[in-house]
Structure 1
């Protein structure tokens, strides 16, 4: 079968790899029909974080179950499924608490495991990880494209909003106009925020933010952006979503937080000097919540909203490629020619 493989900085190739097989009784084999390129993939793509070389890529799988192990009970061959970016057993202490990304068996799809950017994957702990799409929607392309972001970015944006404590009538600031930030706007709107200020650097992306519920946008940079957001929120917001993970975005998040407020952070931190923003947090008594999103905790509720037509994150996909086009998808993401790339296998 074919799959995307990372060979070094800005070098992703689609090549032949061994077909996956059932190895444990709790496994399933899934034929991938839809997947995506994620902003977090760009860290290793640009050579800014460690990654197995060569290593399979991708962590946002959706497809059809082809085979299951003897102990799998929740899905069967022919079922349409999606899966969070983190594999989880569903039974350990942390899974029972809803902290699936701290599962004692936790592992990601990409790297040394079967990456999701390929024709098939082996899904360990299928009962704890795979999420079945109701049969009536299994072949509805519009619904499937709306559900795919639930494998990562929609649930991650939701985790930022929940961690920041967003609720009905609140004012929230969302730092970042990538796919996660845009989904954070959707999530804040879903949770009832009355005002949502979206901060970013790209006018086309901020237009999507407005479609998703942003009441104001800030396209400035640096101190000008902080001043504008602070002015719009009359001194700062109690609820700030940090959806990038860069040092500059973390600084911005704490700068625009009102004293006593909370920053919900979900951006993968790379090259961040914690001392600078922690001093700001200390002086303003600003709380810091969040981390790696436990997607499996949120996916059922968000799926229900997608299926009833009240939630649609699919506009984050601004470019679509096939399996052979995955290297082009990485290039487009890297050069900001696409917000997020949909891959139809």
Structure 2
């Protein structure tokens, strides 16, 4: 079978690898029918050292179950399923609390970085299939597949940012970042009732989509100028909630500059820094709270799926490029160079 491997920064290859096979009675073998390149994949794409590779890539996919281990009971051969970006048993105390990204099962964890498995491939072995996989009530060629694929990560991550931040009809919101997660954080804030949603982004095609998803204002300026503009839009106070979907230190500084006293900064952009100011001169002085983290998207799939199935939301609009498996390396380049927002892969 063929799969995507990253050998180092800027070095992504599609190669023939050993076929994925069942290893544990709780595994399922899934033939992948749709996957994608994630904005978080661009972090190692820009910085990974050759000695750390190669690693299989891809943590967002939909596919058809081809085989199951003897202990799998919730899915069977022929089922179309979506997989969250975190493997979990869905039964441990953390999973029962809706924190699947902290599942305590020894086989739990994240897809990216696994040397043998990844979603940008023709097939994949799914550990803990009963807890991880969710059946989809559509055919593999459904027009809803792009939107349903966002349940594996970006929609659930945007929703998690909004939920962790406490977004509701009484909160004003700033979203920092016009990548797929940022845009779906806008959609999620709108879905939860926010009436003022300020999107901070610089790419017109993306911010136009953000407006379609519910952004009431767009601020293209960064740094002090961007902070001043947001505060002008909010009567000088800033917004109750800031959803930070970038992960770099300037984005955190920007979030700190636009959050209202007593507000919340909710981070879901994978942090590319080790320290951030949290002391008296930053968070403590104005009772600002810091929230967020890796999104337990498995906890949100059943809640979000009906709105996709009935057409209330169309998160699949974040895909602006489609390729086959051979085109994945070019998909990485185009996303890294900001020529595309998010690449859909159909093996």
TM-score w.r.t. the length of structure 2 is 0.96
Q: Which residue of 2 aligns with 1:116?
A: 119
| Mapped partners of 1:69, 1:6: distance in 2 | 29
Shift of 1:259: 0.3
The residue correspondences of 1:136-215 to structure 2 (distance < 5 A) are 137-215=138-216
Shift of 1:140: 4.5
Q: Which residue of 2 aligns with 1:102?
A: 102
Counterparts in 2 of 1:51 and 1:113: CA distance versus 1, 3 Å? farther
| Mapped partners of 2:164, 2:48: distance in 1 | 27
Higher alpha-carbon deviation: 160-169 or 326-335: 160-169
Alignment deviations for residues 95-146 of structure 1 (CA, whole Å, 9 cap, x no partner): 1111100011322222224010000000000000001001xx2235321111
Q: Which residue of 1 aligns with 2:59?
A: 59
SS at match of 1:59: coil
Confirm or deny: 8 A CA contact 1:30 1:123 kept in the other structure.
yes
| Mapped partners of 1:75, 1:113: distance in 2 | 22
Count of aligned positions: 343
The residue correspondences of 1:147-296 to structure 2 (distance < 5 A) are 147-234=148-235, 235-275=237-277, 279-296=281-298
Structure 1 unaligned blocks of 5 or more: none
Q: Which residue of 2 aligns with 1:77?
A: 77
Counterparts in 2 of 1:272 and 1:198: CA distance versus 1, 3 Å? farther
| Mapped partners of 2:143, 2:49: distance in 1 | 34
Q: Which residue of 2 aligns with 1:339?
A: 341
Shift of 1:230: 1.0
Q: Work out which of the residue numbers 125, 133, 140 in structure 2 matches 1:130.
A: 133
Shift of 1:49: 7.7
Higher alpha-carbon deviation: 102-111 or 7-16: 102-111
Structure 2 unaligned blocks of 5 or more: none
Higher alpha-carbon deviation: 285-294 or 165-174: 165-174
| Mapped partners of 1:40, 1:75: distance in 2 | 29
| Mapped partners of 1:39, 1:253: distance in 2 | 20
Shift of 1:278: 7.6
The residue correspondences of 1:84-99 to structure 2 (distance < 5 A) are 84-99=84-99
Instruction: Tell whether 2:318 aligns with 1:316.
Output: yes
| Mapped partners of 1:140, 1:173: distance in 2 | 36
| Mapped partners of 1:278, 1:55: distance in 2 | 42
Counterparts in 2 of 1:328 and 1:242: CA distance versus 1, 3 Å? same
Q: Which residue of 1 aligns with 2:5?
A: 5
Shift of 1:276: 6.7
Alignment deviations for residues 293-317 of structure 1 (CA, whole Å, 9 cap, x no partner): 0010111111111011111111111
| Mapped partners of 1:65, 1:16: distance in 2 | 21
Confirm or deny: 8 A CA contact 1:5 1:54 kept in the other structure.
yes
| Mapped partners of 1:143, 1:257: distance in 2 | 36
| Mapped partners of 1:141, 1:324: distance in 2 | 23
| Mapped partners of 2:57, 2:155: distance in 1 | 20
SS at match of 1:303: helix
SS at match of 2:77: coil
Higher alpha-carbon deviation: 280-289 or 321-330: 280-289
Confirm or deny: 8 A CA contact 2:165 2:242 kept in the other structure.
yes
Q: Which residue of 2 aligns with 1:34?
A: 34
| Mapped partners of 1:277, 1:76: distance in 2 | 52
Confirm or deny: 8 A CA contact 1:247 1:272 kept in the other structure.
no
Shift of 1:65: 0.4
Alignment deviations for residues 13-43 of structure 1 (CA, whole Å, 9 cap, x no partner): 0000011111111100000010010011011
Shift of 1:50: 9.2
